[in-house]
Each structure stands twice: as C-alpha cells, then as structure tokens.
Structure 1
Amino acid sequence: MRRNPVFTPVAVTGMGAVTPFGSGVQRLWNAIMGRRTAVGAPSDARIAHFSPAVAEVKDFSPMDHLPKKTVRDTDRSTQLALVAAAEAMADAGWTAEEDPFELRGVNANRTGIAWGTAFGGLPSYEEEAVRLAKHPEGRVGPRVVSKAIPNAAEAALAMHYGIRGPAMTYTTACAASANALGEALQWLWLGIVDQVVAGGSESLFTPTALGSLRSAGAVAMEGEGDISTWCKPFDVDRTGMVMGEGAAALILEPLDRARARGAKVYAVLVGYGASNDAYHETAPHPDGTGAVLAMERALYSAGLGPADIDYINAHATATTAGDRAESLALRRVFGGHLNQIPVSSTKGGMGHLLGAAGAVESIVSIKSIETGWIPPTLHCRQPDPEAPPDLVLDGPRRQHIAVAMSNSFGFGGQNGVLIWADPGLFSR
C-alpha cells in the first residue's frame, strides 16, 4: 500500500453504536448480515401522517444507561450519543465497567471530541414550542436551549468524561459524522491531540421535520409490498428515503500509539475528502460534481488510486436524484475499475440516520474489512441502469477487503468521504 509520507496512520481502537437494530456494534452487524430490516410504522401516530415508514430505536430506555439527572436534562439524540460513546470507550480500554464515567490512562487535556449531527435536539425544542403555543403565558423550561442546541451531545460527552481538548460539532447535514471523523483525522495528523472520540447522533422524528421532508418529496410515502421493504436504494422503483435514528462513536488514535499500549486495532483511517456542490439547497449536483471532488480528495490524501479500493459503502438513500448523482460520480472517479468494485448501501434495512449515518456506515465498512464480508443492498430488485455495475444484492458476499470507501452526501451540497484500511497493511 502506498502511504502519504506526510501523515501518520490513525487507528480505530474502539467502536460503539445504537441503531434501529438496538444497542451495540455486534447487534448492528448481526442484523445487517442476517438481512434484517428495522423499517416499520412509527410508534407515534402524529408522525405517521408525514412519514408512514420509519426506522426507530425501539426498546431503548435511557434510564438503563444514564443517571436520572442526565436523562432529564438531555434530548434523545444526546442520550443515544452518550450510550454509543460509552461502548466505544470501554471497547478501547478507556473506562472500567464498574466506573463508566471515569477515563483511565487517558490525558483528558490531549483528548478531543469531533461530533456530527444535522439538527441536534430539535424534538425538545419543538415539544416546548407546541406547549408554549397552547399556553402562551406558560413557563418555558430552563433546559430547552441546552437540550436543543446542535452541540448538546458533544458538550455532554465532554462534561461526562472531563474531556478538555478541542470539542467541535459539525452540522453538515447527512455528511456530518463523516466530516467529524475526517476533521478528527486531521487533528491527529497535526498532533493537536493524542486521541479523539468521533462520531454522530440523530433523532428527528418530529412533525415539522418529517412534514418538510414529505413536502420536498424526499421520504417514501408509498411502496409495493410490506412497509419494511419501502427503502430501495438504487432500485428503478425507489420512492424516497426512510428516516432512521441512532448514534455511533469511534475512538481514533495514532497507530503507533495504539500498538504501543496493546490496543486492538480494527482499521486504519487513511483518507478523507470534503467538498460542496455549490448547487442547490436540497438536491445534489445532477452530474455528481461535488461528490467527485470529495472522492478524489480522499484518494489523494490516502495516497491511493481508484484501483486500490476493494469495496464502496455508498450513501444511496433511495431518492432518485441522490442515487443517480452518486452513480454518475462513481463512474467518473473509478472509470472501468468500477466494474470490479462491489458497492452496497445499508440504508434499506435501517433507514437514513442523517447526521449519524457516516459514522454508522464507517463501522459497517470497518466490520467488512475485519470479517471479509460485504453487506447486501436490501430491497433492490431491479437496479437502475445507471447504478454501479457490481451491486451486492441478494445477500452478504464473502470477499477479502483491504481498503474500503464510505460516502456521505447531504443537503446544502455537503460531501464527506472516508477511506478505511486493514491494519495488516501497515508494518510494525
């Protein structure tokens, strides 16, 4: 593998997730490999009018994981973030099971937090706005702003673990957590910190948000067969995305440092590319121009070429414009190499987690490298003619993967692309 000689390899030493499949990375991976779907009717009847198909995190009680005061003072998106981060930190050996809110062997001054979200705690804000509309002279809760601000999850993580390094929130729509991971990579390349908690969280089941997405024609309002099959990335009959919720966290640190402390290394983050379409508020550039730039920049930063990529985890949300633009961008970047590169989207089973999607799909990409299995694209029965030629469709595919690319593209033309590699490619 060719290395960019300027930058040090950055290892992933811990992972955590809460997804519509439940809590835990292993539950996420088992569900994807088992071709399960978490898409179904919303539990809140108010939501069904605006989005009849969603992917909720069910059977999640924050009181099972967090102190009562924390639950009272935080939005659901922050609670999901705290639980995902706790798993990642424990996985990295930073915390003891009996004392999860104390970092061990980690310099808090040299630890950073890079977090992504599209909206933060909008449900908490909307809930209070509805209450105020009904009772204009009523008292507004003192924690509405602190629960709703986009940096609420990042701030909560810093407070819970006493992390005093740079703590930044990236609100770049559906690319948010991919951008957070990429910016964290650059912090480590520059030596600003020794380790970073990076990821994203989202929980956006509100009438306002879903109603707007419905009006924009972005969400699936109908489909053939069971509701669980409505999200069909790359399919000619796709009707729109299905909203999901969740959180994912990854622990990043220099590879040499990770090996020196005997940490398990899942993968190495070797490349990152970001760009903007500069085209439209919601629609991607129809030619995929911004996506092309982000992928090319990720390859350049990794010191790799198109032929070096073994698997692509596509953004593919099952919107016609989005899937088409990504397909065209992939063909422009990879050319004839795309015929030999397997591509899949995991949104068919767990929906689109918006600001958390990039981090969740990065974990999926890393597990593919670790296990040698590529997840399938659920519910795609008749691929669009412009779709990537080697879509993984019918079930998981067994294949050695040394390098994987994960794409994330969002409203406002935001693009974030990450490249993950097998740690075995890097000599000790």
Structure 2
Amino acid sequence: MLKGESDDYVFDPGTWLEEKEVKKIDLFILFGIAASSIALEDSGALESNFDPERFGVLLGSGIGGLPNIERNVTALNARGPRRISPFFVPGSLINLLPSHVSMRYGLKGYCNAVVGACATGAIAITEAARVIESGVCDIVVAGGSESALCRSGIAGFSIIKALSTKFNDTPQVASRPWDKDRDGFVMGEGAGVVVLEDYEYAKKRGARIYAELTGYGLTADAYHITAPHPQGEGGMRAMEMALRTANISPSEIDYINAHGTSTPTGDSVEIVAIKNLFQDHAYKVAISSTKSSIGHLLGAAGSVEAIFSMLALQHGVLPPTLNLHNSTEDSNVNLVPLVAEERKISHVLSNSFGFGGVNASLIFSKV
C-alpha cells in the first residue's frame, strides 16, 4: 500500500452521500459515485436541456466489492449467517455502480456494467462510444472504479507474484515501468469517469470538449489467463484496430500512454507490440506509463489513463515515467523518463490490457 507524500487530500464519501448510505455500499461504488459526480459537474451536462431517456451510464470494475465481501465472510465465519449485512450482496455487485449513478441523477437511458479486468475502464469508454454511435443515447457517463486494497486482494495478487516486494521500505520508487529493477506493480485504488457525447450534440449545447474519441480497438489474446502473448499480438491488433477506426496512420500518433504496469514481462511485451506495429515511428513517438506515479488502479486504470491522455493532449505536456533510471528497452525508444516533456500533439493512444488476454486501445484527437 503506497502512502502519498501529502495528506492534504483525504477521500471523504460524506461529501456525496449521507453516512447511513455510505455504510451500505463498497468503496468502489463510492469512488465511482464521486468520480461521476465530478465529471458530470465539470461537463455541465445536467444543466442542459437533456432527455433522461437518452442519457446513459456505463461503468465497471475489474473485481467489484472485494473489501465488502471480505468483511461479510469474516462476520459469517465468526458469528454466523445472521450477522452479515443485508446490504452484503447489493453493496458488492458491480452493476450497482452504474445503477447508483443512474438513480442519483435520474438518468434513464442505457445502463450497464463492464467487467474486463485491468482493461475495464477503457472498454467502458469504447462501449459508451458505440452506444452513442448507434443512436441509442446522446450522452453517456463512462469509466471504471476499483478498491481491492484489502487482505484478500493483496494476498491474491501476491501469491501470483504480480506485486512489487523489492521496495517495501521505499514504496515511492516501487512502481518503475521498464526499469531493470522492476519486480511487479503497486496496487492503487480510485475511479476515473468521463462524459461522452455525440459531437454535434456537445457543440450545440456549448460543452467544453477536452478531446474527440476518434478510435478504439478491442481484441483477445486467446493465449493465457494471466500472461500476455510473448509478441504482444493481441495488444498490437487492438492498436491497429484503433488506428483503423480513427482512419489515421501509425506515424500520426504523437504520444502513447502505455499499459506499463512495472512487471518484468508485460512492460517489454508492450514495447515489442508497439515496435511491430509502428516500425520506424516507434523511435519517434513518445511513450510513458502514468502507473509510475499513481500505481495500478486495476479496473479503473483504463479510464484514469484516458483522462491523463486527454489532458496531455489539451496542455501539450507528456507525463513522465517516474523511477525509470536504467531502461531494459532500446535506448532509442523515448519512454519520457523522470521528467515531463512539453510537445505539441494532435493524436494520443492509450493502451489497457488485462488478465484473460483482453486488450483495449483508445485514440483521442485534438478538436
């Protein structure tokens, strides 16, 4: 568990829900409600003259209410079945996250949950775009949320040697994608939510547009339950599909927000996939992993990193890969080590890959 350098910000669920309601639901739902509220307020969509039946919610989680499940199973084993919470099941279900947001704001359009391991947030954004493109909704709240920082969550990832253990005394340097001393990821928690709209609809209501989602790709490795394909074949096809959807060439991508989890195998496989697809441009495009600064948010990673990507596009600042001192990759590949890089960019690619071989790639373009 990584404690931040500053304690100035502490998540307070009471900002969004009464205490009695907070006790009924898992933290991943609370994170999702909070992130959705912030996103909706920022978008101004609720102040517009919207049709609630064309306003959707598509949110997900990689694991769901694991801490809530753990607490209730502990109570069950210690004190019997009558001592578990009546909110055990509804407080843990993944689909209750979009349902809570739907009920909170009276959004009556397409409402569904996504479960895609560490690609969940990116898949939710992709599916939201498809819902809008199909004409079912004008606006969709989309993203992912996760809270698995509990005994069973830590133990489960530890037993498969996915987590870093080498830097337990200096956790701030434990997440180090592509560095030769990397030994696993650092688990984080939180939520990332965006508000997607039909472009003409957004322009008509005068919305502030951060970026346009121009491309997306979803594929499967069909290879292994936890390990990526050795050549990153599925990830490469997801990126290729996103480029095709966006109708742009690899050479037009200026920045890649990589999946880059800080695992010995996964980081290098992603670079192999990028090289195979981008060819010479792999040595010109900037690539970084924001997991080096916030850890791996599992089901929320894809949507949080989509937000990083859009803000990079808007501000022309590429987030760095922290703790990258000795790269295991080709020295000619720009992994934006240690320090942010200012660059005018037009198209960014965000990768999210998950257990089971699910791959999602998103392309955002400057408007």
Could you tell me the TM-score, scaled by structure 2's length? Answer: 0.96
Q: Please tell me whether residue 71 in structure 1 is matched to residue 22 in structure 2.
A: yes
Hey, what does 1:15 align to over in structure 2? none
Deviations 1:193-223 (A, max 9, x none): 1110001110101211211211101000123
* Contact 2:178/2:329, CA 8 A, preserved across alignment: no
Q: Please tell me whether residue 245 in structure 1 is matched to residue 214 in structure 2.
A: no
* Contact 1:271/1:301, CA 8 A, preserved across alignment: yes
Hey, what does 2:357 align to over in structure 1? 413
Give 1:96-135 correspondences, 5 Å limit: 104-135=48-79
**More divergent stretch after superposition (337-346 vs 55-64):** 55-64
Helix, strand or coil at the partner of 1:412: coil
CA distance in 2, matches of 1:405, 1:56: 32
Helix, strand or coil at the partner of 2:222: coil
Hey, what does 1:93 align to over in structure 2? 44
* Contact 2:234/2:359, CA 8 A, preserved across alignment: yes
Helix, strand or coil at the partner of 2:256: strand
- AA partner of residue 59 (structure 1): V
Q: 1:296 to 1:272 in 2, by over 3 A?
A: same
**For 1:62, which of 13, 16, 19 is the aligned residue?**
13
Deviations 1:109-155 (A, max 9, x none): 00111112101111101110011111125432111000111212111
**Displacement of 1:388 after TM fit?**
7.3
**Displacement of 1:39 after TM fit?**
3.2
Give 1:224-235 correspondences, 5 Å limit: 226-235=170-179
Q: 1:57 to 1:359 in 2, by over 3 A?
A: farther
Hey, what does 1:82 align to over in structure 2? 33
**More divergent stretch after superposition (60-69 vs 108-117):** 60-69
CA distance in 2, matches of 1:228, 1:118: 24
Q: Please tell me whether residue 165 in structure 1 is matched to residue 128 in structure 2.
A: no
* Contact 2:180/2:327, CA 8 A, preserved across alignment: yes
Q: Please tell me whether residue 399 in structure 1 is matched to residue 350 in structure 2.
A: no
CA distance in 2, matches of 1:298, 1:182: 10
Helix, strand or coil at the partner of 1:177: helix
Hey, what does 1:378 align to over in structure 2? 322
CA distance in 1, matches of 2:264, 2:7: 24
- AA partner of residue 343 (structure 1): I
- AA partner of residue 113 (structure 1): V
Helix, strand or coil at the partner of 1:244: coil
Q: Please tell me whether residue 359 in structure 1 is matched to residue 317 in structure 2.
A: no
Hey, what does 1:184 align to over in structure 2? 128
Could you tell me the TM-score, scaled by structure 1's length? Answer: 0.82
**Structure 1 stretches of at least 4 aligned residues deviating more than 4 Å after TM superposition:** 55-58
**More divergent stretch after superposition (202-211 vs 224-233):** 224-233
* Contact 1:343/1:388, CA 8 A, preserved across alignment: no
**Displacement of 1:71 after TM fit?**
1.1
What runs of 5+ residues in structure 1 fail to find an aligned partner? 1-37, 42-54, 97-103, 424-428
**Displacement of 1:256 after TM fit?**
1.4
**Displacement of 1:94 after TM fit?**
2.7
Deviations 1:263-292 (A, max 9, x none): 111100000100111111111111101101
* Contact 1:324/1:386, CA 8 A, preserved across alignment: no
Q: 1:388 to 1:187 in 2, by over 3 A?
A: farther
CA distance in 2, matches of 1:147, 1:219: 27
CA distance in 2, matches of 1:116, 1:313: 21
**Displacement of 1:86 after TM fit?**
0.8
* Contact 2:255/2:286, CA 8 A, preserved across alignment: yes
Give 1:4-403 correspondences, 5 Å limit: 39-40=2-3, 59-95=10-46, 104-223=48-167, 226-386=170-330, 389-403=333-347
- AA partner of residue 366 (structure 2): D
* Contact 1:120/1:152, CA 8 A, preserved across alignment: no
**Displacement of 1:236 after TM fit?**
1.2
* Contact 2:54/2:108, CA 8 A, preserved across alignment: yes
CA distance in 2, matches of 1:393, 1:171: 32
Deviations 1:52-102 (A, max 9, x none): xxx999611211222334312211111111111111111111346xxxxxx
Q: 1:388 to 1:268 in 2, by over 3 A?
A: farther
- AA partner of residue 70 (structure 1): E
Helix, strand or coil at the partner of 2:90: helix
Q: 1:387 to 1:420 in 2, by over 3 A?
A: farther
CA distance in 2, matches of 1:151, 1:107: 22
Q: CA RMSD in A?
A: 2.0
* Contact 2:75/2:83, CA 8 A, preserved across alignment: no
* Contact 1:120/1:151, CA 8 A, preserved across alignment: no
Q: 1:394 to 1:68 in 2, by over 3 A?
A: closer
CA distance in 2, matches of 1:405, 1:116: 21
* Contact 1:120/1:153, CA 8 A, preserved across alignment: no
CA distance in 2, matches of 1:271, 1:347: 23
What runs of 5+ residues in structure 2 fail to find an aligned partner? none
